[in-house]
Amino acid sequence: MFLTVKLLLGRRCSLKVTGKESVATLKKLVSERLHVPEEQQHLLFRGQLLADDKCLSDYCIGPNASINVIMWPLEKAEQDKAHQPQPLWSQLGRILAKHFRPQDAKVVLQLLRQRHEERVQRVSLEALEQLACYLLAEQQPVGQAGEKEFQAADSELQQQEGGGE
């Protein structure tokens, strides 16, 4: 059977596998085709995280199914990232400190972070993919649109110059 495997930002490939293949084997194939290290991959099927030791048939994955690949940073990189200051929250903390007593500002900031995390966790992969595609598409046509406007203006000038003679 063929499976479509796709990364969040649009790269995808088609892989030929059997239902008896393990998720670990699928990760190896994905690594070879999409150049994503196996240890950074988390595979999802219909929103369910696939365990390396299970077979594809354990999840009722059939022909033409679509598997999403989420890339996680390596553990060390993730820990380093967690220890870096986050400018948004630091700046928000300073702003709140201007309007609240220090202990109240801290509580408000903590509540805002908690609610933010909860909302981020509820965003679906499809919504993230749509947003990424929208933002990428929005960036690319800007350059193309600018070129088209330039070409149209140039063409219009040539017509005016030709018509004025």
Domains annotated on the chain, with CATH: 2-74 (3.10.20.90), 85-152 (no CATH)
Separation of alpha carbons 30 and 32, rounded Å:
5
Residue 153 has pLDDT above 70, yes or no: no
Only one residue has tokens 């018509």, namely 163
12-21, 32-41, 151-160, range with the lowest pLDDT: 151-160
What rounded mean pLDDT belongs to the chain? 80
- Report strand pairing: 41-45 vs 66-71: antiparallel
Q: What backbone phi and psi angles, to 5 degrees, belong to 10?
A: 105, -20
In this prediction, residue 117 carries a pLDDT of 86
Q: pLDDT tens, 99-152?
A: 989 899 999 999 998 998 888 888 888 888 888 888 888 776 545 555 555 555
Strands (E), the chain: 2-7, 12-16, 41-45, 48-49, 66-71
pTM, rounded to two decimals: 0.46
